[in-house]
Structure 1
């Protein structure tokens, strides 16, 4: 199935595996790429050298195109861009909008730039700055999220920009892909659905928690870092919500120290990143400090399997996912379902 997305990035199918922190490592990314989707490596939780090593590992596992997700506001963003260029990465994706200058630098080096956005005005801005495509995530999506449903946000963005639009938030099967195409999207991006595959390195006990969840077990909370965050509802999340502000800040300080050790960042670099995060946004200093909670609480679950001490970011689709196929099986299934749906749609009469 050829779309503007497949032509832009050179993949066989209009499907993107999103760059989930602690989840989208070399094994999952290469499996998604080999299946014909665009795999995106999550780099925000890696040091620069770990990123280079991970890119090389993906390259050793697949000859297909793949991308890397970057933090545009990271203090070492330029160094990471240099690594992508030197290692021949095809796509640079961003959870926060990159600057006009960063987009130009990447495009001059031959990379395809695909930011993720959650509002029409953000899509218009990055399109005007030269982004090659955008991923549009509606409120159903996991992790940091907005409150506008994909079915409302997606057509707004499609009408507003003239670059390929990839739909995210609520997609997990071939019916969803056809629906996104009908709205004018060039493909779909899926996070939770790829997390719940046999190629994902997330511990089996954590995957079991996702599979056992119903739609109403996926909630949005601000207790982790002060921003709306969609995740599985657990006893630990309840305890975060019921704890006082002083206790949350103390936990954030501990997590900031732990994240500094894991990421290799200095305190000075972390302060610079915090200032960049706050710039232009209505964030309190408490929220900036609480941001250290997110990577460490995710790591506790996604790497260590400690669902009692960590959080599990999740799209609402976790409530309807029931199995753990390989990436190859998943992509083949999605495309087969999409073709069946297209073949059986009633003709206008």
Structure 2
């Protein structure tokens, strides 16, 4: 019912991608999403190639479905990582923090699809000119590193500006958001926070519980004064950031308190002083389910809504 060109492009059953969240998007989570009919994505973050290689080997042992890897182009290990992804013939690569243009010809030779994440119309146009196969349009509602424009306003503008398929991200967690994104012209969605609260996601239980307890105003933004805004859940770390920003702290001071904070939250469960990256949709997430149940619920709810609309 919801087959789009993204399904054919990425060889998946449903046009649903799982966000390539650093420290969070492991092979276990990605394999579960791919086995459920979506596209599971391993997050590289700033990890060296040997760490990513283990995750790729693991996911290949856990699924025969299509999967992806998210490559951060500002990583100090990016050249080694991209060489690894080529060697392993990874089917799909999503990219952030830069322009993947110089890698496109090489990967097109082996059929790998390259899908950059973009926060603006100008960057979307540039990625299309570079030869990207599709683009992920991420609104400011998303968790982690964000832009300024909302998903609702940004997606239709980019849909009108480019001819390649658009995948909407930011603020999507259920069938209503999925259907809304398709109505705006997107051919699929990317979901992060909802997949954190799944049985297969291996983040610390404290991290999941913190999202489950979140209210509508708990997903806040740090680092606006530095030009590198990041959305996290409100805690002691957030208060430290706000105090530093209020006192016009330097970028170095801001980065110092954030160093290792995401790992501390994801691995050690430090939700007080760790960086609990999560989107504004956190207040809508109320339970832990399997990835299969999450995807089936989204498709079922979207189908029911569309059927009801057809009856009006």
With normalisation by structure 2, the TM-score equals 0.93
Whether the aligned pair in 2 keeps the contact of 1:141 and 1:168 (CA below 8 Å) is: yes
Counterpart check, 1:236 vs 2:237: yes
Whether the aligned pair in 2 keeps the contact of 1:224 and 1:293 (CA below 8 Å) is: no
Q: How does 1:6-85 map onto structure 2 within 5 Å?
A: 6-85=7-86
- Structure 1 residue 308: deviation in Å? 2.3
- Structure 1 residue 79: deviation in Å? 2.2
Q: What stretches of structure 1 of length at least 5 have no aligned partner?
A: 250-285
Shift in alpha-carbon separation, 1:245–1:184, aligned structure 2, 3 A: closer
Q: Distance in 2 between matches of 1:85 and 1:190?
A: 25
Q: Distance in 1 between matches of 2:51 and 2:231?
A: 28
How many residue pairs match? The answer is 311
Counterpart check, 1:342 vs 2:306: yes
Q: How does 1:204-219 map onto structure 2 within 5 Å?
A: 204-219=205-220
Shift in alpha-carbon separation, 1:31–1:248, aligned structure 2, 3 A: farther
Whether the aligned pair in 2 keeps the contact of 1:81 and 1:106 (CA below 8 Å) is: no
Shift in alpha-carbon separation, 1:218–1:189, aligned structure 2, 3 A: same
Residue of structure 2 equivalent to 1:136: 137
Shift in alpha-carbon separation, 1:334–1:140, aligned structure 2, 3 A: same
Q: What stretches of structure 2 of length at least 5 have no aligned partner?
A: none
Residue of structure 2 equivalent to 1:185: 186
- Structure 1 residue 292: deviation in Å? 6.7
- Structure 1 residue 161: deviation in Å? 0.5
- Structure 1 residue 332: deviation in Å? 0.8
Segment of structure 1 superposing worse, 310-319 or 99-108: 99-108
Aligned-pair RMSD on alpha carbons?
2.1
Whether the aligned pair in 2 keeps the contact of 1:45 and 1:295 (CA below 8 Å) is: no
Whether the aligned pair in 2 keeps the contact of 1:225 and 1:292 (CA below 8 Å) is: no
Q: Distance in 2 between matches of 1:53 and 1:247?
A: 42
Shift in alpha-carbon separation, 1:79–1:329, aligned structure 2, 3 A: same
Counterpart check, 1:330 vs 2:310: no
Residue of structure 2 equivalent to 1:253: none
Segment of structure 1 superposing worse, 54-63 or 200-209: 200-209
Segment of structure 1 superposing worse, 127-136 or 235-244: 235-244
**For residues 118-157 of structure 1, what are the alpha-carbon distances to aligned partners after superposition, in whole Å with 9 as ceiling and x for unaligned?**
0010000000100000000111111111221111000000
With normalisation by structure 1, the TM-score equals 0.84
- Structure 1 residue 162: deviation in Å? 0.5
